[in-house]
Amino acid sequence: MLSYRHSYHAGNHADVLKHAILVQLLRYLGQKDKAFWVIDTHAGAGIYALDSIHAEKLGEYRDGIGRLWERQDLPPIFADYVAEVRALNGDGPLRAYPGSPWLAQRALREQDRLRLFELHGTDFRTLDSYFGQHGKQAMVYADDGFAHLKALLPPPPRRALTLIDPSYELREDYARLIQVLKDSLLRFPTGMYAIWYPMLAKPESKQLPHKLKALGVANWLHVSLSVRNPSPDGIGMHGSGMFIINPPWTLAQTLQSAMPWLVETLATDPGASFALEHESA
């Protein structure tokens, strides 16, 4: 688990999907004056240099945010997202990519709070250097977000978004995710939870959306994006998905209209596609 570094993958197609949705969830929470919390169980380094050795080694951002960067026909959900990435880069070229902590920090008001967990020592130190100097508003923990989420729920304002996106390098991450959600929903059933997962050949990856739906929550949304056909050898991530518990009621319609554009923009072969399903009480 400690070997994973998101800096190799920052800004790729999975980040585009995850962070575009995250921006919309944060916008929704900010519509009311009442405070909210954002809890990120696997926060990473927070900000990534796209001209670093790590990012350039795989260059995945070129087929992710790089394909949206100069587009003039962005649907509103992706225009909002690209505007956030531009805010980090100023008026210059695409050189830096914001992780979820940076996007969340941007959305906070004085009354809101951010809680970040990261176990990797190097990434924690980077994360803490960016976000650990904000007093009570943003707190950074060199700890296991899975293990400590329960202690933060429910948060005092009874409004929160919990982002859960582990590396899934360990098979037990899948089972831990389901158990953590069961525990969290018992403590805080009205919270918003955003779960990211990779689309892999592994059976655990294929089964995860079904297990999430089997949790029995009344309101959920599931969207997945595949940018190519799965590799014949089963190696590699061909797409990713987001499963949101208690989503904004407008999100399904927003994604239904915007996802065909994203498929066309990020496709690397004719197998690219998306799927969207949702349920509400």
Catalytic positions = 165
Contacts of 70 (CB under 8 A, 6+ apart): none
Q: Using alpha carbons, list the distances in angstroms from residue 270 to 206, 227, 229, 230, 263.
A: 21, 9, 7, 11, 10
Partners of 199 in beta bridges: 239
Q: Walk across the sheet containing 273-279 and list its strands.
A: 138-141, 113-117, 37-40, 160-164, 192-199, 239-245, 220-226, 273-279
Q: Among 203, 201, 197, which residue's Cα sits nearest to residue 222? A: 197
d(CA 167, CA 174): 10
Q: Are 81 and 20 in contact (CB under 8 A)?
A: yes
H/E stretch holding 113 reads strand 113-117
**Beta strands 138-141 and 113-117: pairing type?**
parallel
Q: Are 219 and 279 in contact (CB under 8 A)?
A: yes
